[in-house]
């Protein structure tokens, strides 16, 4: 009778009409779900990464209540599917600061916030502490373009992932120092070319995606990787460590977040188990 | 019967006459509310930024009790409206360390404290952990003035925000190293001019406001921005990263706090929801 | 019946005869209270600064119990008044890491500990988390003396505070690097003179006091200020930032602690309120 | 009746069929236990180090419930024995941040995660906070090989541990700066040779094992040691501090984790005791 | 009936036969207590420093239960007296991160662990959070020896403490950078001589003891001091700050832990009081 969630369900303050924010953002009705293939390659898209740790008291709820967590989370994902897409990763066993992380894409950062606010109001979200949160946006290539660096651009374009389905994902923030940003555009292009060349070989077994964050967060970039081959990923990162560009890094990782690629459903289910 | 808030309401130790501090600060009765348009452009005004994270146990209160939170908060705002103005921002979904932040302006820092003490004594305030708190004050322009830098001053004066209503706000502390402060006034003016020029173009889509904090807090400046265009804001911040002044920064961000601009009422309502 | 404080009061383990430590320190009975005017200017005095944050569960006690907190705290102050003097400051609304801070002076550091141990055994102290604790001692002037720097010494001696009663206090730790300490005494005197000159003008509106901490704590100095004029204080600190001595700082602030000057009674009362 | 663990045991959400992840990873049945002797010397093996601190509320469970913890943990180890091997170390009394640490080896990082997820779902795991988590992989020697450095390689090969059975283990992460990684392979080989020579003498009383982590985690290497002679280990580490390679370290330790080598059973038993 | 300690006492999982570890370490029965005078001057002795903070919930236990804490702790000290000696210090009022610290000496680090494990299983230990833990070992003088530096060695040998009984103790970790360790032995000797000379005068009022920790922990040395004269100690530390060796420090303090020298009994009694 004194259970928390029952009290909450019984009360009027529930997500019947969604959050104030969601209503604002939902101004223009947009019935079609976000096109996943399209949003993942478009520039001007907002990427939002958040890591979470399930609080110990989650496991003091009855197993029945925890069982309901999955459906509640999926309902929130479904409610926002015309505005955001969500990817989930299990980090327990790899990270001390988190049990899972989410990657959310949208064309409107407020829509992402609306989704995350609703997620945090679910039982599972409520028992999760946010431990890291990074925001960024995608842009068109601005260094290794067809014009500025034709050969390398061709290499980048032709190289494509041919490994088995990726099982692991990495989220790694990168921040550069004032010396880097005070280089001329030509100097930076040269460094980027030097960094790109030795990594072309890894594009067959590591997928990459870049988000720009300067000013939006305490990082300049969020780099995101997927792979099935952890050794290849380690080789790629060593190659990046061995180029001069590395000398301009003031943050590379901290945290490095590694997770297995999972459905959101599986992440919630796995983390809801207890003996 | 054993509910906290009921016990508190039943007790004598409530805010009937307001806090000791408020009474002190309220020495001279001042019936008129603070003029928002005026205080936001005046020099010698105190700015106080605080970020908050709602504690998980807030959601263990009954929904009915949480419902009352909004009215209680608004009553405190109203009580202090002749001394302070308050802006509220929702950061949940953007920041790991906070769910919302407040910006408070007053002509007397003690009046700001009196307001914040009263706010923290409300149920919503009591269940909020302060995670960052920065204080500063406004000053008249002291580098790019009509006298010292006439052309740039004209540029600054004529450039004005013409974008759509800002939806996002950023609070970013800036601290400079001893080398910066040991430059001559002329050298610093030159650097500031170099930094100002490439940012003039962004004044049409990003609003800025500067607070001085040296000695008052562990930062030299608090920079505050509003925008509807996150891409433009990212471009502005990149432009600032690319000037030599950046080499003198020992803190730029840490934290960078991003929120959506909301009424205080909406912030409290949104964060009081739970499934 | 299950209330904490009742259980404690009913038990024998209370402060009837004071702490073991207090009894030790109290070896020689000394009936007269500490002379405030004298101890605040004497060399060889121990200064102890501690910042506190009231834990949320304090507000779960009944208002009646919280009401009793003031008397309990004042009784402890009175008990130790022949050994220590205590100043209290309200920091809530200015600092994220604290709600109040204490400055304790004594001629014997163990007497200070005895007082603080007793304070922490009161209900208010028990519900307060110590978040920073710095110790230091006063010394006679050792650079800008009559002998070594007669003109500046005269300036320091003649300048005296003439502003209105200070309302704000600041506690700012300072630590210098190995290069500073490896300068010759003459070089350090020169730097101190350079730093003193531009600050003389501020002595009329900012009071200062210096504590030495090398080896006693992870700081070399604790600087303490009182003022009624925050703008003047900001100007003073900017002047100190602009001298070469600043280049030798490895810690200046971190934390900068700002509070309003209050009676201990008011601090406890204000922080015991809840809606 | 309101005991946590009883509620959990009574519920359906238990580890009857194991975690989702375990089922996925268990795709190919592999009945034979991992060959310990083989996996500890093979390249391409994943090493996973995690440190844990038992939460105080563990000791609020009844002693009977805590007694069951050992069997539950051993059952999980047994369940995963065809995929992972687990070593356990007691750190209480040596480390502030942990009470024990685990070293897990597998040929598939997802299998390691599956084990750790199941471990965390046991009562003992559930009451343990993960405080550090590092992942790496083994590789074949790539500097001091027979080809590149024949004499030293011979020295390494012939030197073998001849001390008494090791009682202590150390886990020490190492991260190198951009200057190190930007050296040529020849330069790095030279530094590694310089570092190896003075340590050959210690191979008789200190066992070593190296894991590579660049990109997988916020460290480049995890170095692991076993010894019965702490003085010899201290001498070895001093020898490593005295070579030029040390100048390239940005992380060496932080944390240095020291534990006694124990069976997992003993670790759980020892940490389940309470007076 | 639902009291924790009663439940624990009623259960079988108590310290009747001591910990698994203690039994292992106790392999060879050794009935005589450790010789304090001898172990404090011998080389090859292990020193273990740990700082603790009493958790607030300790004071929610009944005063009667807290009263029993002293006897329980002393019983553990007595049980291990043939293997370890323990010194206790009260830090409350001096340190934010701790209320007390322990210094434990033994000839076998596992015996120290066995003692600390048993201590943590007492009620007082269980309600104490370990906040810092450093391990080291004593060695014979290796720089200022009779051979290498005869005059200084004579000075060190002849200088002896003649102040009143020390009331204060300090524990200060020291870590040196790679440049220090890459100096030749002769260069380091020269620096140590330069550092020793100005401190000889302080040996009459400050006692010192040195522990070596390279590799065993994230520090190179643990320096321990006792004094009755805080001003003299401050002077000593200033003298050490003013020699070139200071330029090689990457850690000197952090934390600096200051306590009053107490019996373990008094420390437990003092921290068990509550109003």
Between vectors from CA E157 to CA E151 and to CA E162, what angle results, nearest 5°?
Answer: 130
- A8/A118 same-domain check: yes
Confidence band (pLDDT; 50, 70, 90) for C199? confident
A121 to B273: CB separation less than 8 angstroms, yes or no: yes
Portion of chain E with pLDDT greater than 90, in percent: 76
**Integer Cα distance of A163 and A87 in angstroms:** 20
Q: Tens digits of per-residue pLDDT, C112-127?
A: 999 999 999 999 999 9
Mutate to test the interface with C, among B73, B215, B218 (most CBs of C within 10 A): B215
Query: E28 to chain C, minimum CA–CA distance in Å?
Result: 39
Dig out the tokens for C172 from the structure.
């700012």
Is C79 within 8 Å of chain B by CB? no
Q: Cα separations (Å) of C47 from B52, C85, C86, E136?
A: 33, 10, 10, 32
Task: Find, in chain B, the residue whose alpha carbon is nearest to that of A68.
Answer: B275
Pairing of strands B46-54, A221-227: unpaired
Sequential pLDDT tens for chain B (275 residues): 333 333 333 233 333 333 434 444 444 455 699 999 999 999 999 999 999 999 999 999 999 889 999 999 999 999 999 999 999 999 999 999 999 999 999 999 999 999 999 999 999 999 999 999 999 999 998 888 999 989 889 888 887 899 899 999 999 999 999 999 999 999 999 999 999 988 888 889 999 999 999 999 999 999 999 999 999 999 999 999 999 999 999 999 999 999 999 999 999 999 998 76
The CATH number of residue E199's host domain is: 3.30.70.3420
Per-residue pLDDT averaged across A75-89, rounded? Answer: 98
Cβ atoms of D61 and D124 closer than 8 Å: no
Identify the helix (H) or strand (E) that includes residue A79.
Answer: helix A69-79
Beta bridge partners of E95: E92
Cβ atoms of E164 and E206 closer than 8 Å: no
E8 to D59: CB separation less than 8 angstroms, yes or no: yes
Average model confidence (pLDDT) across chain C = 89
> Residue E251, exposed/middle/buried by CB under 10 A (0-12, 13-18, 19+)?
middle
pLDDT of residue C159: 79
- Decide if pLDDT at E202 tops 60: yes
pLDDT of residue B31: 65
Cβ atoms of C222 and C173 closer than 8 Å: yes
**Integer Cα distance of D207 and B61 in angstroms:** 56
Enumerate residues 6+ apart whose C-beta is below 8 A from A250: A175, A176, A177
A11 to B62: CB separation less than 8 angstroms, yes or no: yes
- D127/D66 same-domain check: yes
Q: Tens digits of per-residue pLDDT, E171-194?
A: 999 999 999 999 999 999 999 999
Mutate to test the interface with D, among E74, E176, E216, E250 (most CBs of D within 10 A): E216
CA A131 to chain centre: 14
pTM confidence score = 0.90
Count, in order, helices (H) and strands (E) of chain D: 12, 9
In this prediction the ipTM stands at 0.89
Confidence band (pLDDT; 50, 70, 90) for A182? very high
Q: Tens digits of per-residue pLDDT, A194-207?
A: 999 888 888 899 99
Is B13 inside any structural domain?
no
The total number of residues written for chain B in this structure: 275
Identify the helix (H) or strand (E) that includes residue B70.
Answer: helix B69-79
Q: Tens digits of per-residue pLDDT, E12-27?
A: 333 333 343 444 444 4
Q: Is D163 left (phi over 0), alpha (psi -120 to 50) or beta?
A: beta
Is D168 within 8 Å of chain E by CB? yes
Sequential pLDDT tens for chain D (275 residues): 333 333 332 233 333 333 434 444 444 454 699 999 999 999 999 999 999 999 999 999 999 889 999 999 999 999 999 999 999 999 999 999 999 999 999 999 999 999 999 999 999 999 999 999 999 999 998 888 999 989 889 888 887 899 899 999 999 999 999 999 999 999 999 999 999 988 888 889 999 999 999 999 999 999 999 999 999 999 999 999 999 999 999 999 999 999 999 999 999 999 998 76
C135 to E94: CB separation less than 8 angstroms, yes or no: yes
Tell me chain B's radius of gyration from C-alpha atoms.
21
pLDDT of residue E229: 97
D93 to E50: CB separation less than 8 angstroms, yes or no: yes
DSSP state of E72: H
Write out the E strands in B138-190: 168-176
- D187/D164 same-domain check: yes
Place of tokens 């404690």: C8
Identify the helix (H) or strand (E) that includes residue E70.
Answer: helix E69-79
Is E6 inside any structural domain?
no
- C83/C181 same-domain check: no
Which residues of chain D have a CB within 8 Å of the CB of E45?
Answer: none
Is B4 within 8 Å of chain C by CB? yes
Is the four-CA dihedral B162, B163, B167, B169 of positive or negative sign? Answer: negative
Q: Tens digits of per-residue pLDDT, C138-196?
A: 999 888 899 998 988 988 888 789 989 999 999 999 999 999 999 999 999 999 999 99
Can you state the angle between helices E109-120 and E69-79, rounded to 10 degrees?
Answer: 160
User: Quick check: helix, strand or coil at residue D33?
Assistant: coil
User: Considering CB atoms only, which of A8, A135, A179 is closest to B274?
Assistant: A8
Backbone dihedral angles phi then psi of residue C206, each to the nearest 5 degrees: -135, 125
pLDDT of residue B16: 30
Task: Find, in chain D, the residue whose alpha carbon is nearest to that of E109.
Answer: D230
Whether the link from the prior residue into A255 is cis, omega within 30° of 0, is yes
- A65/A96 same-domain check: yes
Cβ atoms of D82 and D34 closer than 8 Å: yes
**Integer Cα distance of C153 and C140 in angstroms:** 13
Is D83 inside any structural domain?
yes
B13 to C231: CB separation less than 8 angstroms, yes or no: no
Whether the link from the prior residue into D255 is cis, omega within 30° of 0, is yes
**Integer Cα distance of E63 and C244 in angstroms:** 57
In chain A, what's the furthest Cα-to-Cα distance? Answer: 69
The CATH number of residue C42's host domain is: 3.30.70.1030
Cβ atoms of B247 and A182 closer than 8 Å: yes
Beta bridge partners of A259: A169
- Decide if pLDDT at A66 tops 80: yes
**Integer Cα distance of A106 and C12 in angstroms:** 63
Dig out the tokens for A99 from the structure.
């049990």
Query: A235 to chain D, minimum CA–CA distance in Å?
Result: 8
- E198/E268 same-domain check: no
Is A85 inside any structural domain?
yes
Range of the domain at E58: 16-138+260-272
Cβ atoms of C207 and C166 closer than 8 Å: yes
pLDDT of residue D31: 65
Backbone dihedral angles phi then psi of residue C29, each to the nearest 5 degrees: -65, 140
Is B234 inside any structural domain?
yes
Beta bridge partners of A85: A105
- A155/A122 same-domain check: no
pLDDT of residue C275: 64
Enumerate residues 6+ apart whose C-beta is below 8 A from D85: D34, D36, D39, D104, D105, D106
Dig out the tokens for A47 from the structure.
């990427």
- D172/D108 same-domain check: no
Decide: E and B in contact? Rule: 3+ Cβ pairs under 8 Å: no
- Decide if pLDDT at E102 tops 90: yes
- E130/E222 same-domain check: no
Q: Is E71 left (phi over 0), alpha (psi -120 to 50) or beta?
A: alpha
Nearest Cα to Cα of residue C194 among C182, C205, C206, C183: C183
Confidence band (pLDDT; 50, 70, 90) for A275? low
Enumerate residues 6+ apart whose C-beta is below 8 A from B162: B204, B205
- D252/D264 same-domain check: no
Question: Which chains form contacts with chain B, at 3 or more CB pairs under 8 Å?
Answer: A, C
pLDDT of residue B275: 65
Domain count, chain E: 2
Dig out the tokens for C262 from the structure.
């209050």
Is A124 within 8 Å of chain B by CB? no
For residues D189-212, b (16+ Cβ closer than 10 Å) or e, as one string? bbbbbebbeebeebbebbbeeebb
Confidence band (pLDDT; 50, 70, 90) for A9? very low
Q: Cα separations (Å) of C50 from B130, C97, C271, D80, E78?
A: 19, 11, 16, 51, 36
- D169/D248 same-domain check: yes
Is E174 inside any structural domain?
yes
pLDDT of residue E275: 64
Nearest Cα to Cα of residue A35 among A81, A76, A73: A81
**Integer Cα distance of E75 and E84 in angstroms:** 13
Is D18 inside any structural domain?
no
Q: Could you write out the three-class secondary structure of B37-57?
A: HHHCCCCCCEEEEEEEEECHH
Q: Between these two residues, A249 and A12, which has the higher pLDDT value?
A: A249
Which residues of chain B have a CB within 8 Å of the CB of C167?
Answer: 110
Q: Which of residues 196-235 of D touch E (CB under 8 A)?
A: 230-231, 233-234
**Integer Cα distance of D246 and D237 in angstroms:** 11
Query: D159 to chain E, minimum CA–CA distance in Å?
Result: 21
Per-residue pLDDT averaged across C81-96, rounded? Answer: 98
Between vectors from CA D239 to CA D235 and to CA D244, what angle results, nearest 5°?
Answer: 160
Q: Tens digits of per-residue pLDDT, E210-246?
A: 999 999 999 999 999 999 999 999 999 999 999 999 9
- A246/A268 same-domain check: no
Dig out the tokens for B209 from the structure.
């406001």
Is E11 inside any structural domain?
no
Enumerate residues 6+ apart whose C-beta is below 8 A from A216: A135, A136, A137, B170, B230, B233, B234, B237, B256, B258
């Amino acid at each position: 009778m004194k259970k928390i969630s029952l009290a909450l369900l019984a009360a009027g303050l529930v997500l019947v009409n969604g959050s104030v924010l969601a209503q604002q953002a939902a101004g223009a009705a947009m019935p079609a779900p976000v096109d996943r293939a399209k949003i993942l390659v478009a520039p001007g898209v907002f990427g939002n990464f958040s890591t979470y740790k399930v609080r110990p008291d989650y496991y003091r709820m009855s197993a029945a209540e925890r069982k309901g967590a999955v459906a509640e989370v999926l309902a929130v994902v479904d409610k926002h599917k015309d505005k955001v897409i969500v990817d989930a990763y299990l980090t327990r066993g790899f990270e001390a600061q988190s049990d899972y992380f989410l990657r959310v894409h949208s064309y409107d950062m407020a829509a992402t916030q609306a989704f995350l606010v609703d997620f945090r109001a679910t039982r599972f979200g409520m028992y999760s502490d946010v431990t890291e949160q990074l925001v960024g946006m995608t842009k068109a290539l601005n260094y290794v373009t067809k014009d500025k660096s034709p050969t390398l651009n061709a290499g980048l374009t032709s190289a494509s992932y041919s490994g088995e389905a990726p099982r692991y994902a990495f989220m790694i923030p990168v921040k550069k120092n004032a010396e880097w940003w005070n280089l001329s555009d030509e100097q930076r292009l040269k460094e980027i070319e030097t960094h790109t060349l030795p990594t072309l070989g890894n594009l067959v077994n590591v997928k990459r995606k870049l988000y720009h964050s300067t000013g939006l967060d305490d990082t300049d970039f969020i780099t995101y990787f997927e792979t099935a081959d952890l050794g290849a990923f380690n080789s790629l990162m060593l190659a990046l460590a061995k180029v001069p560009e590395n000398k301009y890094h003031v943050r590379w990782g901290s945290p490095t977040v590694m997770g297995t690629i999972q459905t959101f459903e599986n992440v919630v289910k796995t983390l809801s188990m207890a003996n």
